[in-house]
Amino acid sequence: DTGVSQNPRHKITKRGQNVTFRCDPISEHNRLYWYRQTLGQGPEFLTYFQNEAQLEKSRLLSDRFSAERPKGSFSTLEIQRTEQGDSAMYLCASSKSTLAGGPTDTQYFGPGTRLTVL
Amino acid sequence: DAKTTQPTSMDCAEGRAANLPCNHSTISGNEYVYWYRQIHSQGPQYIIHGLKNNETNEMASLIITEDRKSSTLILPHATLRDTAVYYCIVRVANQAGTALIFGKGTTLSVSS
């Protein structure tokens, strides 16, 4: 059973450029989450998909950010017109929804993509 | 904001038990306690979760007080590889997916 994978692992870009990250969840996991983590802080939630539907977006997800999960499998996170403040680790997590009345789903994280905006 | 309080840092000698406390005095009846850890420059790793009863798995034990206002994560025989930031998170149990709300966690340093 392979874990969550993310590509690329590192990305260095110049301010104003667009970047796209990919996340491949654990197979059969229907939920996929994106988080962002800056230095010295815990991860912060960005957005969440159940299958291909984007069900929740944080106020942190400005209009320069867009996420997709077109076929309910892998997901992409795009940042347009990057700013230095976008420098962070971008984390993806996946989970499998549980039965009605059961415990909430457990999220498993990938290794992250570290973005540096110069 | 995170609904948990954890010490900023703790030290533990290799081979000894590491006991990491977490205060969650406002926890609701339908909220679980989750523990994750994050080794430097890696993604968070799930450790364990529980509702009311104590739980144990191959990584750790989770002890939840009877009033559920606090809990302790126990690593029975800490090794150098257990050096990490440990996050205690409370999370509502429902059908919908819910985000994990991370605080700053406890930095555990295991030394030989």
Least-confidence region, from A5-14, A55-64, A92-101: A92-101
User: What region, left, alpha or beta, does residue A113 occupy, with left being phi > 0 and alpha being psi -120 to 50 degrees?
Assistant: beta
Mean pLDDT of chain B: 93
Q: Which residues of B touch A97 (CB under 8 A)?
A: 95, 97
pLDDT at A72 over 90: no
CA distance A70 to A68: 6
- Beta-carbon contacts of A118 under 8 Å, excluding residues fewer than 6 positions away, are A12, A13, A14, A15, A84
Least-confidence region, from A103-117, B30-44, B87-101: B87-101
- Give the model's confidence band at B44: pLDDT under 50 very low, under 70 low, under 90 confident, else very high: very high
CA distance A4 to B43: 10
- Beta-carbon contacts of A14 under 8 Å, excluding residues fewer than 6 positions away, are A82, A117, A118
Determine whether the interchain pair A108/B46 forms a contact, defined as Cβ–Cβ distance below 8 Å.
yes
Q: Which residues of B touch A42 (CB under 8 A)?
A: 2, 85, 87, 102-105
Between A and B, how many residue pairs show a Cβ–Cβ distance under 8 A?
71
The pLDDT value given to residue A71:
87
Mean pLDDT computed over A58-73:
92
Mean pLDDT computed over A72-79:
96
Mean pLDDT computed over B105-112:
96
pLDDT at A1 over 60: no
**pLDDT (tens digit, 9 = 90+) per residue, A22-53?**
999 999 899 999 999 999 899 999 999 999 99
The pLDDT value given to residue B105:
95
Helix (H) or strand (E) holding A19: strand A19-24
The pLDDT value given to residue B98:
82
- Give the model's confidence band at A99: pLDDT under 50 very low, under 70 low, under 90 confident, else very high: low
The pLDDT value given to residue B38:
97
The pLDDT value given to residue B1:
54
The pLDDT value given to residue B3:
87
